[in-house]
Amino acid sequence: MTGRLRRRRSPPSHDGQVLRLAFLTGLPGSAVALLLLWTGPYEGVVRWTLTTLVVAGWLGFALALRERVVRPLQTLSNLLAALREGDFSMRARGARSDDALGLAFLEASALADTLREQRVRALEATALLRRVMDEIDVAVFAFDEEERVRLVNRAGERLLGQPAERIVGRTATEVGLDAPLEGETPRTLDRAFPGGTGRWEVRRAPFRQGGRPHRLLVLSDVSRVAREEEREAWRRLIRVLSHEINNSLAPIRSIAGTLRGLLDAPVRPDDLDDDLRSGLAVIAGRSEALGRFMASYARLARLPPPEPAPVEVGAWVRRAAALETRVPVRVAPGPALEIRADGDQLDQLLINLVRNAADAALETGGEVSVGWRREGERLEVWVEDEGPGLSETTNLFVPFFTTKPSGTGIGLVLSRQIAEGHGGALTLENRAGARGARARLVLPAGAAAET
C-alpha cells in the first residue's frame, strides 16, 4: 500500500449483473457466427450486413432478457412499497400459482389482504377505545417521559376545565397534575380541580409508545360514589329504624288509648287495676324491646378497631366451646398456633358462632363440632352443627334479619364485621353430604408461630 486510502468499489447492481450475464450467454454463439462469417468466402456487403444482424440480435436478446428479469422485480418492489405506505389496493397482474414469480405475486397479494384486514380491525378497535374513553366518567391522561400530556379524554377535559387542544403538549405542573403523577399508587387524594373538588382515587401505569416510556394517569371521583352509598345507607337505616320503632309504638299507642278510655269512663270497671297492670306490663315490655334493639344497633355501629396481641388458637377455641353447655360441643384437635389479633373480639365472634350452632342443634338433638387448621398463610376455624340446615342464605348477613323468635339479627353481622376488621372472612353454608350447617372463619396467619 502507498499510504493512500483506496476507494472502495461499490458492488455491481443487479441490473448490471443480469445484463452482463445476458451478454456472456450470447457471446459464444455470436463469436462463432462472426468468425465463420469473416473467414468464409463472402462478399464485403454480405459480411457487414450479417455482422450487423448478429450483433443487433445479440444486443436485443440480452436487453430483452434483462427486461424480463428486472421488470417483475420492479413490480414486486412497487407492490411492497405500496404496502409499506399503507396502500393495500395494488395487485400484480398475471400472477399464477404454477409459476415461481407468479407465486411470489400471489403471496404479496395475500399479504396485502391480511394487512388490510388487520388495519381495519385496528381502526375499529381504536375507534372503540376512543369511544369508551370519551364515555367513561373517569379522567384519563397519558404523559411522555418529559411529563407532557399526550392524551386526554372528555372526563379529563371537564376535570381541568379546558379543551384537549389546550391541554395536550403542556407539562403536568402546568395543568396541575404534578401531585397525582407522583407518590404511591393506588391511593386517594383530596384535591380541588377547575372542574370539581373532592376525593379522587389515583392510579398510574407505565406503557411504551414508539419505543419510548409513557405513563397513564387515571383519576376517579370516589366522593360522589361515597355520597351515593351514604345516602343509600341512610335510606336503609331509616327504613329499618322506622319498621322496628313502629312495631313497638303501635301496640303502645293502642294500649295507652285503651287505658285512657278506661280512666275517662264515667263508671270504672271493677277490674280496672288488673287492666292497668296488664297494659302497663305490655308497654314496659315493648319499651324494653325497643331499648334492646337500639342498644344492639349502637353496639354494631360502635365496634372499635382491633387491638392486636398474641392469641393462642387452641386455648381460644376451647374457651369459646366450653361456654356452651346446652349441647355437646366437640373440639377437634389442631396444630398449636399463635396469631396476633384482638382476643376479646375473637372471643365474641366465636361465641356467637358456637351459640348459633347450638341453637340449630337443639332442634334436632344433634351435636356441635369446632376445629381449626392452617393452610399456608391462612388460619381456618370451622364450626359445624347437626341441625336442620339453612333454609335462607341470601339475608344471613343483613342487619336485623333473623329466623329466631327472640333473635336480634346482629350476631352474624357483628361476627363478619370482626372477621373483616382482622383482614379475614366469614362464610356460612349447608354442609355437603351431611345434615346441618358449617361456619368457616378465615384469618390471615401471616407469621403465625407453631408453639
Has residue 1 got a pLDDT over 50?
A: no
Has residue 300 got a pLDDT over 70?
A: no
Has residue 323 got a pLDDT over 80?
A: yes
pLDDT band of 318, cuts 50, 70, 90 = very high
Compute the residue count for the chain. 451
- Measured in degrees and rounded to the nearest 5, phi and psi for residue 212 equal -115, 145
- pLDDT value at residue 450: 45
Which grid cell sits at 379?
Answer: 388460619
Nearest CA to 437 out of 396, 400, 404 is that of 396
Q: Which of 21-25, 96-100, 158-162 has the lowest mean pLDDT?
A: 96-100
pLDDT band of 4, cuts 50, 70, 90 = very low
Higher pLDDT, 406 or 136: 136
Backbone angle region of 370, left / alpha / beta, with phi > 0 → left and psi within -120 to 50 → alpha: beta
Q: CB-based burial of residue 33 (10 Å sphere; 0-12 exposed, 13-18 middle, 19+ buried)?
A: middle
Q: Which of 33-47, 122-136, 142-156, 296-310 has the lowest mean pLDDT?
A: 296-310
Has residue 139 got a pLDDT over 70?
A: yes
Give, as one character, the DSSP assignment of residue 300: H
Has residue 404 got a pLDDT over 60?
A: no
Has residue 364 got a pLDDT over 50?
A: yes
CATH number assigned to the domain with residue range 309-450, chosen from the 4 options 3.40.50.300, 1.10.357.10, 3.30.565.10, 3.30.930.10: 3.30.565.10
Higher pLDDT, 366 or 270: 366
d(CA 251, CA 241): 16
The residue written with cell numbers 428479469 in the block is: 69
- Measured in degrees and rounded to the nearest 5, phi and psi for residue 235 equal -60, -45
Amino acid at 103: L
Has residue 133 got a pLDDT over 80?
A: no
Q: In what order do the strands lie in the sheet with 212-221?
A: 149-152, 139-143, 212-221, 196-209, 187-193
Those residues whose C-beta lies under 8 Å from the C-beta of residue 290, and which sit 6 or more positions away, are: 244, 245, 248, 249
Has residue 420 got a pLDDT over 80?
A: yes
Which grid cell sits at 338?
Answer: 399463635
pLDDT band of 317, cuts 50, 70, 90 = very high
The top-level CATH class assigned to 136-225 is alpha beta
Helices 272-301 and 222-264, packing angle to 10 deg: 170
Has residue 408 got a pLDDT over 60?
A: no
Those residues whose C-beta lies under 8 Å from the C-beta of residue 431, and which sit 6 or more positions away, are: 384, 389, 437, 438
Nearest CA to 142 out of 202, 220, 218 is that of 218
Backbone angle region of 400, left / alpha / beta, with phi > 0 → left and psi within -120 to 50 → alpha: left
Q: Report domain extents, the chain.
A: 14-85, 136-225, 228-301, 309-450
The residue written with cell numbers 381502526 in the block is: 123
pLDDT band of 373, cuts 50, 70, 90 = very high
pLDDT band of 3, cuts 50, 70, 90 = very low
Which grid cell sits at 312?
Answer: 393462642
206 cis-preceded (ω within 30 degrees of 0): no
Has residue 371 got a pLDDT over 60?
A: yes
Amino acid at 38: W
Has residue 38 got a pLDDT over 50?
A: yes
Has residue 187 got a pLDDT over 80?
A: yes
d(CA 213, CA 296): 56
Share of the chain above pLDDT 90, in %: 9
- pLDDT value at residue 447: 43
Collapsing DSSP to helix, strand or coil, 220 comes out as: strand
Q: Which of 160-174, 189-203, 352-366 has the lowest mean pLDDT?
A: 189-203
Those residues whose C-beta lies under 8 Å from the C-beta of residue 119, and which sit 6 or more positions away, are: 86, 88
- pLDDT value at residue 410: 63
* Mean pLDDT value across residues 166-178: 87
Which helix (H) or strand (E) segment holds residue 443: the answer is strand 437-444
Read out DSSP for 124-160?
HHHHHHHHHHHHSSSEEEEE-TT-BEEEE-HHHHHHH
Higher pLDDT, 233 or 170: 170
pLDDT band of 302, cuts 50, 70, 90 = low
Which grid cell sits at 257?
Answer: 288509648
Give how far Cα 173 sits from Cα of 82, 107, 181, 188, 189, Å.
43, 52, 10, 19, 16
The residue written with cell numbers 384469618 in the block is: 443
Amino acid at 282: V
Give how far Cα 401 sits from Cα of 109, 240, 335, 347, 419, Å.
70, 10, 36, 22, 19
The pTM of the full predicted model, rounded to 2 decimals, is 0.41
pLDDT band of 264, cuts 50, 70, 90 = confident
Higher pLDDT, 362 or 34: 362
* Mean pLDDT value across residues 255-266: 77
Has residue 312 got a pLDDT over 90?
A: yes
Has residue 446 got a pLDDT over 60?
A: no
Judge whether 152 and 159 are in contact, CB under 8 Å: no
What confidence tens digit (pLDDT) does each residue in 210-240 have? 788 888 888 888 776 666 766 776 676 666 6
d(CA 181, CA 175): 11
pLDDT band of 298, cuts 50, 70, 90 = low
